[in-house]
A and B are shown apart, each in its own frame.
Chain A
Amino acid sequence: MTVRDIIKILDAELLYGNDELLDQEVAHACGSDMMSDVLAFVKDQAVLLTGLINTQAIRTAEMMDMKCVILVRGKDPLESVIDLAKDRDICVLKTPLTMFSACGLLYENGIRGGKSK
């Protein structure tokens, strides 16, 4: 599955991305509002689903080499958050779905949690 497929599945809006980011293959994802949990447990998941809309969601993805952040429940981040994502080349999507439903739909379509540390 690519990020383009995820956009369709989650009825998501693209807040930042480019062709390279959108065409990348995604197999594993994780969902959390606690960034220190992501930093402690995530291994090679490329996608972060979160209800957190501050800059630290992007920075956490940056530190973990994650390539896509999906903001759940349709919350709008500040422009500065998108600017940071642009600078760090991280794709940002926004979905109206809740965390539970977004994760469930991705799982149903073959995305898995992957290994944790």
Chain B
Amino acid sequence: MTFQYDVPGDDFTRAGEASGDLKKKMKKLGFPSDVIRRVSIALYEGEINMVIHANGGHITAEVSSKEIDLTLADTGPGIPDIEKAMQDGFSTASDQVRNLGFGAGMGLPNMKRNSDEISIETELGVGTTVRMKILNK
């Protein structure tokens, strides 16, 4: 099954709608709660990143009994140094974003921890695509 979501870049209050919706759908489909939790956390962090760093984007979630494949594509500024961005605590978020409860530099490391595979393709000025695989085990 494939689910698609457009993530608007201009409305922080709506960030997380896609993750919440996928969580509901996976519950209905009867996935184990720990798998749902890992998918929810990984996707929510990614969705928030698309909103606060890249002005929105598009999510594709492919869900099967074997695995969940998440693709988050944006046309934002790109990430200059992925290795640095993956470190705990590294963040370029503004004070404004911090006041909203994000920008601790924990998102990408947390996405890595909660997924079985993660890959990030990025090009400065073109955009970023994050792919995550979570096995249903």
Contacts and interface: CB of A to CB of B under 8 A. Distances in A.
Contact of A88 (B12, B13, B20, B103): B20
Interface residues of B, number: 26
B90 interface: no
B106 A56 contact: no
A65 interface: yes
Main SS of the interface on chain B?
helix
B19 interface: yes
B20 A65 contact: no
Interface in B9-56: 12-16, 19-20, 23, 33, 37, 40-41, 44-45, 48
Interface string B67-95: 00000000000000000000000000000
B16 A36 contact: no
A64 interface: yes
Interface in A50-81: 50, 52, 54-57, 59-60, 62-65, 80
Nearest to A52: B101
A55 B101 CA distance: 10
B57 interface: no
Contacts of B33: 65
Interface in A1-47: 33-37, 39-40
B19 A63 contact: yes
A117 B12 CA distance: 27
Given A59-B44, A64-B37, A88-B20, A40 B101 contact: no
11 contacts: A33-B101, A34-B104, A36-B105, A39-B41, A39-B110, A50-B101, A52-B100, A54-B101, A60-B44, A60-B101, A63-B44
Interface of A: 33-37, 39-40, 50, 52, 54-57, 59-60, 62-65, 80, 88, 117
